[in-house]
Amino acid sequence: MLSKKICMLGALAVGKTALIQQYVRSIFSDSYLSSVGVKVSKKTLTVQETPMNLLLWDLEGQDDYNAVNTSYIKGAAGLLFVVDGTRGETLSVALMLRNTALDILGHNTPHVLLINKEDLNDSWEITDKVLTSLKNSGITVLKTSAKTGLNVESAFSALAEMMVDADAPATMDT
């Protein structure tokens, strides 16, 4: 079966690990888990009748932008950039990481920008106006909550769809 590496990227405590846990195990924990190293979780799904394994790479510990190096993102077929909606500065971090990662992997690499913690949207610092301008610049943006599960499934499947499309031959002989 096709296996695809996906990297989670974003500032500290935006919810990268929580999103994976919600997606893979349908659980949410309020405790802040910080350990060291890289954890890879696996999830199998079917996209356009193609079964595939998503290998979800998550940095644990020092997972801020300083830690993003070539060896972590090398070989990734897709990227999820995660922002904490309640902390505006985490958007700048995500956009900076996006530049770095796309420079390494190529600018056509499938990726989605997740504005997480939608359950706390009363205290969001990121406005719909900002989100609209990001979308207008061609970025796929989704509001998620690892806590309620909002759009978590959709986020990973949207990325998987983009990866399958990226694999498809540009023209097909009939």
SS (H, E, C) 34-81: CCCEEEEEEEEEEECCEEEEEEEEEEECCCCHHHCCHHHHCCCCEEEE
- Contact call for residue 87 and ligand GDP (CB under 6 A): no
Reduced to 3 states (helix: H, G, I; strand: E, B; else coil), residue 134 is helix
Q: Which of the choices ligand GDP, Mg ion, none does residue 116 contact, using the CB cut-off of 5 to 8 A by kind?
A: ligand GDP
CB of 24 to ligand GDP, least distance (A): 13
The three-point CA angle 135-122-79 to 5° equals: 35
Q: Token pair for residue 96?
A: 């900076």
Q: Which of the choices Mg ion, ligand GDP, none does residue 120 contact, using the CB cut-off of 5 to 8 A by kind?
A: ligand GDP
- Contact call for residue 151 and ligand GDP (CB under 6 A): no
| Interatomic CA distance for residues 3 and 53, integer angstroms | 5
Pairing mode, strands 2-10 and 37-47 = unpaired
Residue nearest to Mg ion (CB): 17
CB of 136 to ligand GDP, least distance (A): 25
Q: Which of the choices Mg ion, ligand GDP, none does residue 14 contact, using the CB cut-off of 5 to 8 A by kind?
A: ligand GDP
CB of 165 to ligand GDP, least distance (A): 27
Q: Token pair for residue 142?
A: 């989704």
Interface residues with ligand GDP (CB under 6 A)? Answer: 10, 12-18, 29-30, 32-33, 63, 116-117, 119-120, 145-147
Interface residues with Mg ion (CB under 5 A)? Answer: 16-17
